[in-house]
Each structure stands twice: as C-alpha cells, then as structure tokens.
A and B are shown apart, each in its own frame.
Chain A
Amino acid sequence: MAHQTEVSHHAPEEEHPTSTGINNRKLLMWVFLSSDCLFFGSLIATYMVYRGQSLVGPYPVDIIDVPITTISTFVLLCSSFAMVRALAATNEDRQGGIIFWLLMTAFLGTIFIGFQVYEFNLFREEGLRIDTNLFGTTFFTLTGFHGAHVTLGIVWLLGLAWIARKGRLGPKTALDVELAGLYWHFVDIVWIVIFTLIYLIGGFDTGPAGDPSLVPHSITGFLGLI
C-alpha cells in the first residue's frame, strides 16, 4: 500500500513504463468498463426478451413517466459535464475548483438517485414490484443495477473530495480523478441506453389486449434497426 501511495504521488505515468505505453491503472479501468458492457448487455437483453410479455399490470404505459425521467437524464448529463470540469481543475491545479466540481458531480448524481428513489416508490405504490410481472422484474433489475453503479460513483467522488481537501490532488495525481471520471461517464452512457430503451421506446408498451402493432416484439424491433 505504502509503495502504491508513493507512486501515485509521483506522476505514475512517467515512472512506470509499460509494454502497452498505457498506465496500468488506466488500462485496468478501461478493461473493467469494457467488461461492464457485457454485464449491462445481458440485463438489457433480458429486458428486451421479456418486453411486452407481461400478463398482468401495471404495464409500462400505465406508470412510466417520460418527462420526469427526461429531467433526471438532464441531471445526469450535467453531472458528466461537472466531472470533466473537475478533471480540468485537477490538471490546472485549481484546488478550489477540484473540490467544487467533485462535490457538484456527486451532488448531481445524488439528485439523479433521488429521482430514482421517487420513481421506485411511486411504482411500488401503483402496484409494480419486482415480482409483479416480467416488466417489473426486468425493469427493477436493470435500473436497480444502474442505480447501484451511480451510488458507488458518488461514494468514490466524495472520497476524492475528502482527499482533495488537504490539497493532495493536483496535476501529478490527476489520474486518480481521471479514473473516477471514466467510471462516472460510463455510468452516464449506460443511462443513455437505458433511457432510450425503457422510457422512450418501451415506455408505452401496453397489456396483452392492446393493439399488437403497438407492442412490437423485441426481435421485430431489432430487425427494424438493421
């Protein structure tokens, strides 16, 4: 541990030449994000397979609120912007900026989680639980895991802000902020996909009695893309 800390204080990118030419921590983060694509991919696939297959309500059209979620999507996009500002401040060694933008990112992430808590509670009151129907199961699993990722990111950012208060973040340790930023932006792009799929495309799915043309089966939807 002591060795690692020392390294991170001395511009790790220069001190450790690697065969790839990329800092190992950074490569690890990208490999992890790459593998997380598979994780979310399988959850997204499960949602798509069971999309429009619920036999009892509430169905998406009954409870999905696109305008509210569009606002929370904006909040998450804003947080991504705050994150790049935090990294820029770190590179420029503006100590006040580092703490401000890190806390701003965490704050906006918390607002997003607040929207999700509100939404989950609303759905529960409307009768949609994780075991109510296929929609409930796939919806809560996918968005719940995304929310868990955001929550972890908030903890990470707050940890960085805590470190930054003693002036320990700066151009030499910018990678510490950059890695958190990569993770945070990844969580943002996962939400871009989830928002489009569950809310904009699947948010109006009806029950079995609905017009079949309004409930394109997932494979049909997919073929329409190609």
Chain B
Amino acid sequence: MSSDHGVHESRHPTLKQYVIIAIFLFAITIVEFVIILPEDFRGQGWTIAPLAILSAIKFAAVIFFYMHLKFDNRLLTWVFLGGLALGFAVVMALVGLFTAWTPSPRAFAEDHAKPCTLDHELGGCLEDPSKAVVAPTPGPAPAPDDPGTAPAAAPAVPAGGGLVDTGRQIFITGAGEGAATPCVTCHMVEGVPEAVGLLGPDLSHIGTEAATRQPGVSAEDYLAQSIRDPESFIAEGVDRATPGLMLAAITAGLTDEDVDALVAFLMAQQ
C-alpha cells in the first residue's frame, strides 16, 4: 500500500482520487434515496428531473474517472459519447413514436372497458350472474311481435314482461336446462351489460340492419333463419362474421317460441 501514491502513469487517477470518487458516488446515491424517502414525494413528476440529473453526474464520474476517459485519448471519448448520443436518440425516437401517435394501451383499455368477469382459461368474459337481473330493456319496447306466437311464449315470461324481455333473457342466459352457450358469449349489444362477447358480430343495431341483408326476405324471417341455421347466409361487410364459428348445434336446443322471442328482442335493437 506504500506505493499507492506512486501511480506513475499520468493517465490514471491516483488512489486518493478514486476514494474521493467512490465517496462522491455513495453520497449521490444516498441523496437520491433521500429524495424519494418522504411518501408524498414518491412517484411525483417533479422528482424525475433531480433524480435524472444526479444519476447523470454519477454516470459521468464513472466514465471519466473509473473508466479514465478524462485521461485517455480524446477519440475514445467521442466514440463512446457518440454511441451514447445515438442510444439517447433511439430512446427518444421510440418513446415518441409509441406514445405521441398511438393511444396508450391503458387509455385504450379504459375507453373500451365493459363490465366483465375475466375467465382466465378461455381468455374472455364470463357471464356474471349477479348482474343478470338488471333493469328491463330501456328504450323502445313496442315489440313487433307476431300475434300468433305471442301467447305461446307466455309461460316462459318471468315477470310479466313481453316477448322482448323473454328474448332478452334467452339472449343472456340461454334457453332450457343444461349448459347452453348463451348468445352473449359471442355477441355484444349496447345497453345490455352482459352482452360483451367479441367473437361474433355486434348486434347493437341488428333490428335495423336485418331488413337490408337479404333482398326479399323480411327482417324477422332473416333473423329466425340466421338463428336456426347460422351458416345459411353469411352477411358481407360485417365485422367478425366468421363462417364456421356459430354452429347450428348451438341453437339446436331452442324451441320455436324461444326463436320468436329472440327475434323480437333482436328486432328491438334498432
């Protein structure tokens, strides 16, 4: 240790300088830690600037003294600072590119949030039974029901609602006993909190759209046909209208009354 002072080469700092730098680095780290010690300061935007400046000082101390850039050929300084500047430019460019012109993932998710119980296995939303008994259908409820079939559906009506309510119930929970796959699994309808499915077409305005799908086929007939035999007609230009996804087996358990109720409900989605 006696020769520690005698670091002959001028391009290396002395032991004393190294110790001073080590203490300096420690001190700055402690200051950084103290800055975020009060709970009120943690994560505050204003702490970013002092913390960034302090770590930049530490960064400079290490490269200029520990890595002795200060005592070395100038070219090395430019080689390294050049790469550092490029790296900084890459950071700025990527951050700018992905935040300035694209909505942030969280903002997008919040804007498109729907009430949903996540099913982690299936990666989709589960039907939430606690929400199944929400307010009756808002908006226009004059069901364009067929007088011939309306009485037949009467037994299934839960609380004196019309055919539309029955259809709504079937749409949400499925019909009959057993584990039927309800429509809401794949279809979304605005104003129906349970209907958040994203696999099939959005049925929010199907009552209006149904009339225009097939020339010469009434809206009701088209809907009934599409429920009974989903593959019979695949509408063009409809998002998520995927052939082969909604199999006839899914709706095979529906009675004629169920289908009529569903058609009535769907026709109310103007």
Contacts and interface: CB of A to CB of B under 8 A. Distances in A.
A45 B91 CA distance: 5
B51 A88 contact: no
B83 A33 contact: yes
A5 interface: no
A91 B91 CA distance: 38
Contact of A41 (B4, B48, B58, B90): B90
Interface in A91-141: 91-92, 94, 134
Given A92-B7, A204-B42, A216-B48, A77 B25 contact: yes
Interface stretch (B73-81, B130-138, B142-150, B210-218): B73-81
Interface stretch (A150-158, A160-168, A188-196): A188-196
A49 B95 CA distance: 5
Contact of B66 (A20, A49, A80): A80
B10 to A, nearest CB: 12
B237 interface: no
Nearest to A66: B36
A104 to B, nearest CB: 13
Given A41-B90, A224-B46, A34 B109 contact: no
Given A30-B79, A55-B106, A188 B95 contact: no
A169 interface: no
A12 to B, nearest CB: 15
Contacts of A80: 22, 25, 62, 66
Contact of B36 (A53, A92, A200, A219): A200
Contacts of A216: 45, 48
A175 interface: no
B21 to A, nearest CB: 8
Contacts of A40: 87
Contact of B96 (A33, A185, A219): A219
B181 interface: no
B198 interface: no
A84 B105 contact: no
Given A185-B63, A201-B47, A219-B96, A22 B73 contact: yes
Given A49-B98, A208-B106, A219-B95, A196 B62 contact: no
A85 interface: yes
B52 A196 contact: yes
Interface string B117-147: 0000000000000000000000000000000
Interface string B29-71: 1001101100000111111110110110011001100110000
A85 B42 CA distance: 36
Contact of A92 (B3, B63, B92): B3
B9 interface: yes
A2 interface: no
Given A34-B82, A217-B99, A27 B76 contact: yes
Contact of B95 (A21, A78, A218): A218
A75 B93 CA distance: 33
Contacts of A42: 90-91, 94
Contacts of A66: 33, 36
B180 interface: no
A134 B104 CA distance: 12
Contacts of B99: 49, 217-219
Given A33-B80, A52-B106, A91-B7, A224 B12 contact: no
Interface of B: 3-4, 6-9, 12, 15, 18-19, 22, 25-26, 29, 32-33, 35-36, 42-49, 51-52, 54-55, 58-59, 62-63, 66-67, 73, 75-76, 79-80, 82-84, 86-88, 90-96, 98-100, 104-106, 109-110
